[in-house]
Amino acid sequence: MKRIHVVAAVIRGADGRILIARRADTQHQGGLWEFPGGKVEQGEGVEAALARELREELGIEVSRSRPLIKVSHDYPDKQVLLDVREVDAFTGEPHGAEGQPLAWVAPRDLGQYEFPEANKPIVAAARLPDQYLITPDGLEVPQMLKGIQKAVANGIRLIQLRAPDMYDPKYRDVAVDAVGLCAGKAQLMLKGPLEWLGDFPAAGWHLTAAQLRKYAAKGRPFPKERWLAASCHNAEELALAEQMGVDFVTLSPVQATQTHPEAVPLGWDEAQQLIATVKQPVYLLGGVGPGQREQAWQAGAQGVAGIRAFWPEV
């Protein structure tokens, strides 16, 4: 069965809301919501196909777009490759030129709409930012909290509270304060034993590779309303993350780092090849920062994750 190449758009309005359309009842996966787009014709480039489809479907002209995520998915009756681009500049007023209902939806509310199965990773990618801050080791608690507060004020929207040198009760106390600092402004990801999950309902969880190996066969430890991520370093761990149903992963190290000088870097080419094997959004980590964000997008990543490159001066 030949895989059908489809281009789709996550279209962001000036207020940050995202445009979705409802499929006609007569279509494949009819009645469900989708991100606008359509089939890439023989010999047609992805950007050209996107421009054509959005002109035909919505009556708009794309001014700027970038790669967001690629998703391969096998339905019982067809195989698709969704080539998704984020569109944040366009001219014209979007309307259902083919009679399809449209809705502008806040990213956090996308989960309330029913999408085809292949669209689930796109929903995650549309909701996630392109930068993921990981807190540095060795900070005193006041420094840690002040840095988180400043990062949130600077617009960081995804933060992992990583403090491997803290003993458990101290980490839990900091986590309580960090949850408060991030409330309504940023998504906090915690690390630690899964027995703690019930104590921090507002936080997501970032699994270590060891936890991934231990728990992957059991599936998600909590409902899809909470973010679940995992640290991956190779193809085996990426496959375990997919088996567990995580929402996104970090893949590292891309380049040599001060934090883990003993780790062998993947390099950009291998990182790109590994990203192509998974459906979930991937943050590249290790020797990267905001300056490599564009390169990460071109490699198929959601964006970049880091410690030093993102931590504010406090």
| Whole-number pLDDT of residue 260 | 67
User: What angle separates helix 141-153 from helix 168-182, to the nearest 10 degrees?
Assistant: 20
CB 283 within 8 A of CB 250: yes
Paired tokens of 297: 């997008």
| Whole-number pLDDT of residue 166 | 87
- Digit-coded pLDDT (tens) for 222-255: 888 899 999 999 999 999 999 999 999 999 999 9
Over 70: is that where the pLDDT of 72 sits? yes
CB 8 within 8 A of CB 37: yes
- CA-to-CA distance for 114 and 295, rounded, in angstroms? 32
| Whole-number pLDDT of residue 76 | 82
Helix (H, G, I), strand (E, B), or coil: what is residue 206? Answer: strand
| pTM for the whole structure | 0.94
| Whole-number pLDDT of residue 29 | 67
Over 90: is that where the pLDDT of 130 sits? yes
CB 123 within 8 A of CB 117: no
* Average of per-residue pLDDT across 148-168: 94
| Whole-number pLDDT of residue 28 | 66
Instruction: Find, among 118, 81, 79, the residue nearest to 1 by Cα.
Output: 79
Over 70: is that where the pLDDT of 144 sits? yes
Paired tokens of 94: 């979007």
Q: Which helix (H) or strand (E) holds 273?
A: helix 268-275
* Average of per-residue pLDDT across 11-40: 89
Tell me the pLDDT band of 69, cut-offs 50, 70 and 90: very high
Which of 19-33, 125-139, 236-250, 265-279 has the weakest average pLDDT? 19-33
* DSSP letter assigned to residue 223: -
* DSSP letter assigned to residue 96: -
- Digit-coded pLDDT (tens) for 295-304: 999 999 999 9
Instruction: Compute φ and ψ for 283, nearest 5 degrees.
Output: -100, 130
Which percentage of the chain shows pLDDT scores above 70? 96
- CA-to-CA distance for 312 and 314, rounded, in angstroms? 6
Q: What is the mean pLDDT of the chain?
A: 93
DSSP secondary structure, 68-109, as one string: EEEEEEE-SS-EEEEEEEEEEEEES----TTS--EEEE-GGG
What Cα–Cα distance (Å) separates residue 214 from each residue in 48, 220, 224? 45, 12, 20
Length of the chain measured in residues: 314
* Average of per-residue pLDDT across 135-155: 95
CB 251 within 8 A of CB 285: yes
* DSSP letter assigned to residue 110: G
| Whole-number pLDDT of residue 80 | 87
Paired tokens of 254: 């891309």
Q: Which residues make beta-bridge pairs with 18?
A: 12, 105
Greatest mean pLDDT among 24-38, 65-79, 85-99: 85-99
| Whole-number pLDDT of residue 283 | 98
| Whole-number pLDDT of residue 73 | 85
CA neighbours within 13 Å on the CB side: how many for 284? 32
Paired tokens of 174: 């900091």
What Cα–Cα distance (Å) separates residue 26 from each residue in 23, 32, 80, 128, 211? 8, 11, 19, 32, 44
